[in-house]
Structure 1
């Protein structure tokens, strides 16, 4: 069912909370070392390679990522300055390690089984030009009461990625069911960042029209003891791939492609030709 906001005070508070969510999300995105600061997506191989936007020669080896710093080059790792050869060890899938190089932050990560390097420079042109992300006006109509339907045990789900040929595998604890205009829908959910919370990746009839074509993401608080969960499509947000080709964002599972228009949440970024 739809959660109703019946008085002006509730509506004002609802809008204020949404504006705070949107503002905080954009502050992370456009922060000095946020996704808009990324200058390169480098795929590491066993052969050491140098890149214009990071010191050192980098390789992905049997012992994990290794950097070989030439004379005069240095990185700061966990507050310690390192020179010469440094081994990061094996980095787990979807984990990242961040090291400092002057005012830049170098992300060393593993995505889809591949070691990658993503330097983040505060002066990157994409970050400098960013102003805001267009979004639909928040509307209580899009706050729905859903129900979490857990699987007997988590199921591995393989999805594509914004980078062609790359795949991600996530454990799905269950599905989220909700009703919209008399029709029931179910979306496969993945684990969220907080214990018990959920993340849903989806597309809908607005995708590629007013919202980003590849995906949008919705974070849900942990279901209550009866399995109820709030599905607030006003907080359907863009992933980093909506702004830059230097992201490896996952795509939604096939069953999460809704046939209806979700006219809520963030729209196509200005950087991709979107309009206010």
Structure 2
């Protein structure tokens, strides 16, 4: 699963944009508040971003794991046995072997030895409050660890946002790519992948025209952008925005009030894609989510 498809899980927070129409301010504000509450709930969920507790890149061959600091993969102290088992990475597949007496499960069933990553499958393993699974980024394979008792959840108090303003809900025209366009997207680990782009979204704010390249994300458009607030009032590496696919006239809506922080704003254990240079807007987009914490 590539980065963009993986991040499509965030679209639960971005659904329901709708095409541009005259909106009742009160109804629109209530709609955005309800959307943002779902966004908060998704961050706090078991598969959300607030409970990440580690990201460990595997070496080819055997990688021991557990709470002992001598392991290749070191789980949080007090959360597991000193040695839970080992991961073996070979030829693009990952196997796990569990130590006798260690209680590790998949879907509630005990595990002793199991292939936990292939092109078709990568199950979630569990022990106590810990959950982990394999991710692939470029040619790298890693263990993503969650802790359902994470301080990230316990200390979470919400996300500051700009005041909702319909000025930032704009009609955009998709300028289709002339050919099968792909744009390079680099993530925070330095891995670059070519993502399919249907074209460029062209829109106007305060009488001036701006452009943003979109990439495909299942049945939506995914936009990575930065602006003059980035690194000041908003997350330094930019924000995410989703939009519906254009109608028959090539029109969709960009609602910057729905701009969200990437996962890296909440945790150091995410592998977020970064905005391409052409998606750095020369204006301050004072809409959507502001910066969170110190990430």
Quickly say closer, same or farther: Cα 1:123–1:230, change in 2 above 3 A: same
> Aligned residue for 1:174?
199
CA–CA distance in structure 2, aligned partners of residues 214 and 226 of structure 1: 33
CA–CA distance in structure 2, aligned partners of residues 5 and 207 of structure 1: 30
CA–CA distance in structure 1, aligned partners of residues 50 and 193 of structure 2: 22
> Aligned residue for 1:121?
147
Shift of 1:117: 0.7
Indicate if the aligned counterparts of 2:174 and 2:200 stay in contact, CA closer than 8 A.
yes
Give me the TM-score of the superposition, normalised by structure 1: 0.87
Indicate if the aligned counterparts of 1:206 and 1:262 stay in contact, CA closer than 8 A.
yes
After superposition, residues 183-262 of structure 1 pair within 5 angstroms as: 183-193=208-218, 195=219, 197-262=220-285
Shift of 1:153: 3.9
CA–CA distance in structure 2, aligned partners of residues 109 and 146 of structure 1: 35
CA–CA distance in structure 2, aligned partners of residues 41 and 169 of structure 1: 24
Whether 2:294 is the aligned partner of 1:272: answer yes
> Aligned residue for 2:162?
136
> Aligned residue for 1:52?
74
Quickly say closer, same or farther: Cα 1:29–1:86, change in 2 above 3 A: same
Q: C-alpha deviations, 1:81-127, integer Å up to 9, x for none?
A: 321x22134347xx964333333321311112211111111111122
CA–CA distance in structure 2, aligned partners of residues 227 and 46 of structure 1: 47
Query: What's the RMSD between the two structures over aligned residues?
Result: 2.2
Indicate if the aligned counterparts of 1:168 and 1:250 stay in contact, CA closer than 8 A.
no
Shift of 1:45: 1.2
Indicate if the aligned counterparts of 1:5 and 1:140 stay in contact, CA closer than 8 A.
no
Give me the TM-score of the superposition, normalised by structure 2: 0.82
Indicate if the aligned counterparts of 2:168 and 2:287 stay in contact, CA closer than 8 A.
yes
Match of 2:40 among 22, 26, 33: 26
Structure 2: any 5+ residue segments left out of the alignment?
1-18, 66-72
CA–CA distance in structure 2, aligned partners of residues 76 and 170 of structure 1: 35
Give secondary structure in 1 for the equivalent of 2:271: coil
Indicate if the aligned counterparts of 2:117 and 2:123 stay in contact, CA closer than 8 A.
no
* Range moving further from structure 2, 131-140 or 55-64: 55-64
Structure 1: any 5+ residue segments left out of the alignment?
none
Whether 2:30 is the aligned partner of 1:16: answer yes
Shift of 1:259: 0.5
